[in-house]
Amino acid sequence: MSDPAVVAADEPELEQIVTGKQDKPRSLGSDAWHELRRKPTFLISLILILIVVAMALFPGLFTHVSPTAADLNHARGGPSAQAWFGYDVQGSDVYARAIYGTRASLLVGVFATLGTVLIGGIVGIVAGFYGRWTDSLLARFADIFAGMPFVLGAIVIMLTLNAPGSNPGETRILSQVVFSIAVLSWPVAMRIMRAATLVAKQQDYVKAARGLGAGPLRIIFRHLLPNTVAPVMVYATIALGANIGAEATLAYLGIGLRPPVVSWGVMISDARDYVAAAPHILLFPAAFVSVTVLAFVMLGDAVRDAFDPKSR
């Protein structure tokens, strides 16, 4: 606004939008969608995410090799025409394992992040908005979880839920992994949300809304949330990658997913001792994690920008 050149460049386009669809009031949501559809980063990240989701849902479309078939003759064999990504320590096809590992990794990554952000976001906005003793109570409660080291906390939770020696199914382990990650990492999201809410709550537009007679729900959803969600979203995109890694940590400790279930995290932790001898065993699953995280980061960025009218 302070830069005249920017205003001048903006003006004709705006004028056109305003006069062109003059009779249709638009909302932030429809403006954001209009903006997103033309954004290359959004489209690229969306395509990448769709591919990853397709791999998770229908791994058979991408490979005919079984991820569990192993031939020790091929152990640590490099990439070739038979196995594009080479073979791992057990002589299994790395490509097939990476494809079949998508489902568990994506489920853990997405749902643990969703859980973290939802629990943290709700508790954070409630603590920030209501303040006083509600805030003190919720903040101390969050400190209990934040104070627990992740690995220790996860071991306690997983061993409590599964008696040692038991052999729970894949779905059960997956949901327990998601649960332990979400329960142990929501305080971070809560603090980010609380801080953002405390700032937004002081703004005059909240005062004006209260003066108009707006109730707490309207203030939270209409005025606070749109202005506080951005920093939490940035955290979420980072947390997504970290959560896929956290699943690997639990697998390595023997309390997470276990064979024959495959995940990128399991593959990375299997490859750990052979990095120098056979780097491809580590690099390919790591690349899958990186590209997936990158796609979500780009998506988060694009969505955040689209919902900030000032960045248009």
Partner 1 sequence: MPEAILEVRDLVKHFPVQVGVLFKRTIGHVKAVDGVSFDLARGETLGVVGESGCGKSTLAQVLMRLEKATSGTVRFEGRDIFGLAGQELRRLRRDIQIVLQDPYTSLNPRMTVGDLVGEPFEIHPDVAPKGERRRKVQELLDVVGLNPEHINRYPHQFSGGQRQRIGIARALALRPKVIICDEPVSALDVSVQAQVMNLLDTLQAEFDLSYVFIAHDLSVVRHLSDRVAVMYLGKVVEIGTDEQIYEHPTHPYTQALLSAVPVPDPELRGRREVIRLTGDVPSPVNPPSGCRFRTRCWKARDVCAQEEPALVDRLGHPSACHFAEEHPHVAVG
Q: Which residues bind partner 1 (CB under 8 A)?
A: 1, 10, 14, 17-19, 21-22, 25-28, 31, 136, 140, 203-205, 207-214, 218, 222-223, 226-227, 307-310
Q: Shortest gap between Cβ of 128 and partner 1 (angstroms)?
A: 17
Tokens of 94: 């790395």
Work out how close the CB of 228 gets to partner 1 at its nearest, in angstroms, rounded to a whole number. Answer: 11
> How far is residue 228's CA from residue 78's CA, in Å, rounded to a whole number?
48
Q: Hey, how many other C-beta atoms are within 10 angstroms of the C-beta on 139? A: 18
Which lies closer to partner 1 via its Cβ, residue 25 or residue 164? 25
* Least distance (Å) between residue 244 CB and partner 1: 32
In this complex, which beta carbon is closest to partner 1, that of residue 9 or of residue 47? 9
Question: CB of 153: closest distance to partner 1 in angstroms?
Answer: 24
Closer residue to partner 1, CB minimum distance, 226 or 279:
226
> Between 77 and 128, whose beta carbon lies closer to partner 1?
128
Nearer to partner 1, 163 or 212 (CB): 212
Q: Give me the least distance between CB of 144 and partner 1, in Å please.
A: 14
Cβ distance 1 to 279 under 8 Å?
no
